[in-house]
Each structure stands twice: as structure tokens, then as C-alpha cells.
A and B are shown apart, each in its own frame.
Chain A
């Protein structure tokens, strides 16, 4: 019965394809003592050779964390997290910080190769043509940063945050937690206390970053949370495009990822921040997967500045993430483009905040939510204008697509207008893929899964085209893969 065999093979293929980053790497690692205590924080700080002020800063954040409560307003359900049952620091042995590529453990390089990020190759090919500089973060530490020299010729600082704390303390002290205060929320306080690594970017005035900057996060160790901190500063008149990717191995347990990303755009500067989030989402029964509790915020501090967030959310068991823009400078612009895809038992509560403070500010939100399986997908957004924010303008569009009748889609927008010159528009729709569309594709010999991938890609097109080219191709594939098995 070849036909049956073929079907079985196809089904197998789908299973394997579903999450292709589910393997783990065997590496000797060094971990902090289990649990969250002052000792753990001191251990992390010591491990990273941090100056005294940084340790005090962390301990202060820890004290604030202790007095805070876990937020419960999001439309997600998960068992409470036991912070004393996990590791807050795990690093491949002998990696204290990024080194040159030759010194990096080949096993690690292989890992990134397998993930489709050929660090080595890129450096070699740099003379020919390649335009992405990568900071690779493995569990708690940054293992390598490529193209550092080339970037420093332009005065651009691109390194791990631990290096920045040592080498550029004046910048770090000035900008760290100036956008997301330590006690902004429960998870930002936790992150401030225990963050282990992340990327730091500084673009000097009137510089256009010649290549895409990218950080690739990988969780590998078991029972370990990843807490990274990213700080991007675009000085006057500069431009940078930054990409972030993330994956994790397939495990039965839930792992915590609580990151903080801060962007600062000064006068006439522009930051474009793109994320393809592909953490392990758990299996089809909802076992395992990453809890992704992330605070991302950009501050358009100067006049005519612009921050644009683009995100493709396909992974994580639970997502709690609201990349926001504070439009402080006059004429500043905030943008948010998002695709959130949830399948099986994934839960997503994501959206954005556009806070209009300056005059003539404008913002645009395009959010596409797709839920399939038993998943729940919520858009939660805030658009607000303050008393003095004259001529604020916002356009919001939230579309949800439901595939199957076990999933749910929610839209929770908050629209607060305190200034009569504000013009805010919000529209949202919820619908399903129509039978006509499927029939049309079927007629042309496209099978149902491909047809869905095709239609969903069309549905997301407005967002996909905002992604840098390198990511757009990957994201398009990801959209198809994430929905596999959602019909049948």
C-alpha cells in the first residue's frame, strides 16, 4: 500500500518539521547555584567581573522585585513559576565573554551552523559580500560578536552588554533603565536583578550603520531561565536596523525567558527593530515550551525620531510582550507591525503601547493574529495622547484569523484621548479563511495545507514586507510551518 506509506511518511515529515530547532547541544556548562537569592545575584555579578555600582543596581532591583506581584491581567494561564527551582546563570565552560572566532568552541559554532547562522563562514566571506553582524548569545553569555572591527571603524559600538558595562560605563549608566525603569513591572525588575547578557549597540551621530545588526539567542541548558538585556542607542541623525532571533531545544519542562529591550532614538535618529521569535512552543498537547515574558520599549527622545518594531511571533508556550513607543520628541513616529501565530495550546497576549507626548507625533499599528488548534491569541494595545500632545495621529488595524473552532481570538485596545486635536482610528476584524478561498486554491491543484499557508501569508503581507529581506524569507516559511497540522 504505497499510498498509505506515503501518507505516513508525510505525517512524519510534518512532525519533524514542526519545530526544527528542538535539538540540544551537549556542552560542559557552568551554572549558578539554584534558586533566586542575593547570593545568586552576587555570583552573576562576580562571574561577569562587574563594577560595584552594577551589583548595587542589581540588588536594588531585587529588593523591588520582592515587593512586587506577578501581573494577572493578561489572558494567559500557566502554573505559577517557582523561582527557587531554576538556574539563573548557565554558560558554556571556559566562555567568560566573547572572544575572537578562532577561540570559540567548535561545538558552539556547529550549533549556530545548524541553526542556520554560520558565524564562521560569514566572517570569512566578509571580504566578499555579507551584511549582517551577529552577536550570538548562548544561554547566559554572549559567545561571539562578529564584524566588531569593521563596525568600530565607523565608531559604532556593537558588543555584549557585559563588555559594555566594563568598556563603556558612561553610556550604560546614562541609558540603562532610562526607558524601562527597574520597577516598571514584575518581569523587568526580575530581569534587572539577574540579567546575564545581551547586546549593546551605540550608533554615533550622523552615522548610518552599514550593515544589519543581529542578536541570536539560544536557550540550551535545562532548568535554566534566560534573562537578556538589550540596549540600543541611536545618537542624533543616525540609523540602525537590528534583528533578533531566538530558538530553544524541545523539552518537557517549561523554561522562562524574561528579557528587557530598551531603545533610545535621539534627534533625527531612526531605529528599526525586527524580531523573529521562534522559541519552542511546546508539543501538540501543550507540554513544555518557553514562557516568554518580555518588556520591550523604545523612547523617541529627540525631535523627528522614529522607532519601528516588527515582530513575528510563532513560538513560546506563553507570550507576554508589548513592544512600545514613547513618542516624546516633537514630530516623532512610532510603528508596530506584528504577526502572532498560535497553534496547539499556545497562549499569546501581545500588542503595543503608543504614548503620544510630543507635538505632531504619529503612530501606526498593524497587528495580525492567527490562532489555530486550541490556542488563545490576544491583542492588547494602548494608544494615548496627553494634554499637550497636539496633533497626535494614530491608525490601528488589528485583524484576527481563526482556524478551527477550538481556538480563540481577543482584541483589547485602550484608546485614551486627552487632547482634542488628536485623531485616532482603530479598527479590528475577526474572521476565518473562507471556503471560497480554499476552493479556489483547490481547483488549481494546491492542497489544503499549502493553500492555508498561502492565504495566511497573504493575510500577513503588510507585516512581512516590513521585515528585512534576510528575515522575510525565513518568516514566510515559519508562517507555513507553524500552522501545519492545524487542519484535517
Chain B
């Protein structure tokens, strides 16, 4: 946990880090052109500042003082296997013979991972292994050529590992794939997953991101690029609970073709700073998507969600439902944007953002945008901010429910309709315990009611 030269600001540190990294890359590698291009862009733009509209409420440099230094030797701790197996969810996954991919500090741990499914329907490789499938190289360069996102560029320059998953099942039964990230050492980690869901496939992808110890100082950037074909059903649930000193920048891109259902749900808590950037494109018609989530913030956490949903074809439906609970000195930011192109007639898009503030010093900023170029559409958004209703609390107390319990009930009720967006009930059940623990932590204590 040593500081580098103190007087160099973090932006220069990051650029120097990129420069060092790019000079060590193999110039013949198929991803090299993308890396180099991204490096040139990042070098010019640098880290985004609050002058950038998309970063209006998040000041990176006030949270990120330096790149955490890392040791060259990264031993896999003996207990990591136990640590992972202690998770109820992982136990169940193994029993059900689902695929489990384990990453430690951004690097895939093959010895701990299992790809259990029939190799013909799910194939998994990693960014580190050659050769990288052609579709992945193509997908990567497509996203890169149209990109202006600084943190995505940074991720492109520095990405070291990640899962490359191709799903080609047509049996109508979903394959379950768990991706587990464990933060185990201090350092700066960068990884990218690419997921290709071929026509007619059903898949559930459940991601976990957890810190192994409370004092690990990790900084990471991650990207996940989805390419989803026609007639697919994709359920994605991400659960991230970092310690209070981790800083993370997540990028998610998804391109969705015709007649597909895509449900993505994120549960986030902890983190000194967590940026959730999501860019969802409905390129085909008749798709139905739901992008939702719950943010539970306490301590000095700062979670910034930037969600863009683009309707680029007729007859698509999207729902975005986000709920945040804010306690202590935390700050929640939500910037949502629904864009409906002129050809995307008959679009139905609904967005709702609700925040419940439980303490005096918490802050919530929301900017739900609509950008509509087609006339035959039904689009709407709602945003609310408030506290626990005194009337409801009184109602419960007058029926003999203790105050703490009453508050917990009300907070739980507030989150319930968002949780209903997790369409696969089995997944929802597996999250019940985790959710309860998180709720207990976030809703107790210094409620200002």
C-alpha cells in the first residue's frame, strides 16, 4: 500500500501506467490495434471530470488519490477454495452441475473453475488464451470503433483477462453460468468478458463480485460485452458487494437482436466509488428488455449508475426500475437515458428511479432523460426521492411492531417491486439470504426519522 511519488496526480499516474503497459504488449496480437487506438484516445482525454455531463455528479479524483500498488507475486490463498465453497449459491451451483468461473484479482483461476455443461452448447475460453475466437475480436473492435467512453478506453488498454463465452443451445432449457470475482490483493485490475448468445439460446448468467477482506485496496475497470441473437432468453443477475475502499468502474454493453428477452438485474453495495455504465441497444424488433437494480449505500459509498437504452427498431419494450437506499454519508447518482430513434415506432419504454434517504448527510442526484424521435410511442419516466413515511411507521408501531423492525419492513417493501424484475424465480430464491443480510446492515442504525 505504498504511494508512488506523491506529487504526481492520479491522472498522470494512470496515463504513465497505460504507457508502460502498451509498450509491453505484443504488437502482433489481434487486440493490439484496439489497445493502441484506445490508448491514443485516453491519453488525449485523460480521466473524465465533473465538467463532463456524464460525470456531473461524480468526481473521480476526489475519491481516487493514487493507483494502489501491487506486489508482483499474487499467491492464490489456500483458503480461496474454501472461501468460495462457503457460498450457499456456489454449493448449489456445483450440485446442479452448473458452470462456475472463478476469477481472483481479475485473473481466471482455471483450477477452481468448472465448465460442467455439455461442451457443444457452452464454450468458455479466456482473453489470455490464444487463439481468441474471431467473433470476439470482431465484437471488440466494433465496440471500440464507436466508443467515446474514457473508462472503456482505459479498460481496452489495460485488459488482461476475462471470460469469452459462446452459448449455442437450442434446447429451450437455460444453461446456468456463474462468474465469481474475488478481490484478494491490493492492486489495479482490468478485465473484460465477452458473451455471444447465439440465436435461440437460453442462458442465465450470474455474476458475483466480492472483496475477500475489508482492508484490500483494489481499483478495477471491467467491461462486459454482450451480443445477443434472435429468439433468445437471457437472464443476468449481478451481485456486487465490495469493501468500503474498493473503487470500480464497470462497463456493460449489450446488442440485442429480434424477438429476444433480456433481463438484467444488479444489486450493488459498498465501494468507495462504483461506476455502473450500461449501454443497451435494441437493434431488432419485438424484443422485451428489463434493466433494473437495487443500490444499497452506507458509510461513505458512492455509486453512480449511468444507463442508456436505445430503441433502434420498431415494437420493442423496455423497463428500467432502480431503487436506492442511502444511509450515513453515502451518495447515489442515477443518470438514465432512453433514446427512441425515428424508426422505432410502437416503442414502450418505462423508467422509474426511486430513492429512500435514511440519514441526514446522504445525497441522491437523479437525471432521468428521454430523447424521443418517433411519435407513435409510449414513453415515461418517474423519479422520486423521499424518506420513510411517518404515517406508515406509526401504523406499524401502533400494532406492536418495534420501531427497528418496522423500518426494516418498510425498507423491504420499498425494494420488493424492483426485486420482482428478477424473472427467474430460482435465482431470486438464491438471493434471499444475501438480500436479508444486506438489508439488515443498511437499514439499521442512525435512521433520521
Which A residues have a C-beta under 8 Å from some C-beta of B? Answer: 73, 400, 402-432
Residues of A within 8 A of B355 (CB): 417
Residues of A within 8 A of B172 (CB): none
- 19 pairs, CB–CB < 8 Å, chain A vs chain B: A402-B372, A402-B375, A406-B342, A407-B375, A415-B364, A416-B57, A416-B363, A417-B357, A417-B385, A420-B360, A421-B387, A424-B385, A424-B386, A425-B384, A426-B384, A427-B381, A429-B378, A429-B380, A430-B379
A226 CB, min distance to chain B CBs, angstroms: 31
Give the docked Cα–Cα distance between A416 and B373 (Å).
Answer: 27
Contact partner of A420 (CB less than 8 A), chosen from B53, B362, B374, is: B362
Residues of B within 8 A of A73 (CB): 53
Question: Closest chain A residue to B380 by CB distance?
Answer: A429
For A416, A425, A428, A430, the residue with the greatest tally of chain B CB atoms inside 10 Å of its CB is: A430
Give the docked Cα–Cα distance between A418 and B363 (Å).
Answer: 5
**How many of chain B's residues touch chain A, expressed as a range?**
35 or more
B168 CB, min distance to chain A CBs, angstroms: 38
Q: Are A420 and B357 in contact (CB under 8 A)?
A: yes
Interface of chain B residues 355 through 409 with chain A (CB within 8 A): 355, 357-360, 362-387
Question: Closest chain A residue to B337 by CB distance?
Answer: A412
Q: Are A400 and B372 in contact (CB under 8 A)?
A: yes
Residues of B within 8 A of A425 (CB): 382-384
Q: Are B376 and A405 in contact (CB under 8 A)?
A: yes
Contact partner of A429 (CB less than 8 A), chosen from B57, B368, B379, is: B379
For B358, B376, B448, the residue with the greatest tally of chain A CB atoms inside 10 Å of its CB is: B376
Given contacts A421-B387, A424-B385, contact A416 B365 (CB under 8 A): yes
A377 CB, min distance to chain B CBs, angstroms: 10
Q: Does B345 contact A (CB under 8 A)?
A: yes
Residues of B within 8 A of A421 (CB): 387
Residues of A within 8 A of B369 (CB): 410-413
Question: Closest chain A residue to B355 by CB distance?
Answer: A417
Q: Are A415 and B367 in contact (CB under 8 A)?
A: yes
Q: Are B384 and A422 in contact (CB under 8 A)?
A: no
Given contacts A414-B367, A417-B357, A418-B363, contact A409 B383 (CB under 8 A): no
Given contacts A417-B357, A420-B359, A421-B387, contact A430 B380 (CB under 8 A): yes
Give the docked Cα–Cα distance between A357 and B371 (Å).
Answer: 30
Q: Are A424 and B373 in contact (CB under 8 A)?
A: no
Given contacts A405-B342, A409-B370, A410-B372, contact A423 B380 (CB under 8 A): no
Given contacts A415-B367, A416-B365, contact A403 B383 (CB under 8 A): no
Return the 10 tightest CB-CB contacts between A and B, nearest first: A402-B375, A420-B357, A411-B370, A426-B383, A429-B380, A430-B379, A415-B366, A423-B386, A417-B385, A427-B382
18 further contact pairs, Cβ within 8 A, besides A400-B372, A413-B369, A427-B382: A402-B374, A405-B375, A406-B342, A410-B371, A411-B368, A412-B369, A414-B366, A414-B367, A417-B357, A419-B360, A420-B360, A422-B385, A425-B384, A426-B381, A428-B368, A428-B370, A430-B377, A432-B375
Q: Are A409 and B372 in contact (CB under 8 A)?
A: yes
Q: Are B372 and A430 in contact (CB under 8 A)?
A: yes
A350 CB, min distance to chain B CBs, angstroms: 15
Residues of B within 8 A of A428 (CB): 368, 370, 380-382
Contact partner of A427 (CB less than 8 A), chosen from B360, B378, B380, B448, is: B380
Give the docked Cα–Cα distance between A122 and B355 (Å).
Answer: 54
Chain A interface, >50% SS class: strand
Give the docked Cα–Cα distance between A403 and B375 (Å).
Answer: 6
A357 CB, min distance to chain B CBs, angstroms: 16
Give the docked Cα–Cα distance between A409 and B347 (Å).
Answer: 14
Q: Are A408 and B363 in contact (CB under 8 A)?
A: no
Question: Closest chain A residue to B56 by CB distance?
Answer: A414
Residues of A within 8 A of B373 (CB): 405, 408
Residues of A within 8 A of B371 (CB): 408, 410
Q: Are B375 and A417 in contact (CB under 8 A)?
A: no
Interface of chain B residues 73 through 106 with chain A (CB within 8 A): none
B370 CB, min distance to chain A CBs, angstroms: 4
B431 CB, min distance to chain A CBs, angstroms: 27
Residues of A within 8 A of B368 (CB): 411, 413, 415, 426, 428
Give the docked Cα–Cα distance between A36 and B56 (Å).
Answer: 34
Q: Are B384 and A420 in contact (CB under 8 A)?
A: no
Give the docked Cα–Cα distance between A423 and B387 (Å).
Answer: 7
Given contacts A409-B370, A409-B372, contact A420 B377 (CB under 8 A): no
B397 CB, min distance to chain A CBs, angstroms: 20
Interface of chain B residues 295 through 346 with chain A (CB within 8 A): 342, 345
A382 CB, min distance to chain B CBs, angstroms: 9
Give the docked Cα–Cα distance between A155 and B448 (Å).
Answer: 49
Q: Are A424 and B372 in contact (CB under 8 A)?
A: no
Q: Are A408 and B385 in contact (CB under 8 A)?
A: no
Question: Closest chain B residue to A411 by CB distance?
Answer: B370
Given contacts A408-B372, A416-B365, contact A423 B385 (CB under 8 A): yes
Give the docked Cα–Cα distance between A416 and B57 (Å).
Answer: 9
Give the docked Cα–Cα distance between A410 and B367 (Å).
Answer: 12
Question: Closest chain B residue to A422 by CB distance?
Answer: B385
Interface of chain B residues 388 through 440 with chain A (CB within 8 A): none
Residues of B within 8 A of A431 (CB): 377-379
Please, what's the 1-or-0 string for B110-149, where 1 marks a CB less than 8 Å from any CB in chain A?
0000000000000000000000000000000000000000
Question: Closest chain A residue to B327 by CB distance?
Answer: A420
A454 CB, min distance to chain B CBs, angstroms: 19
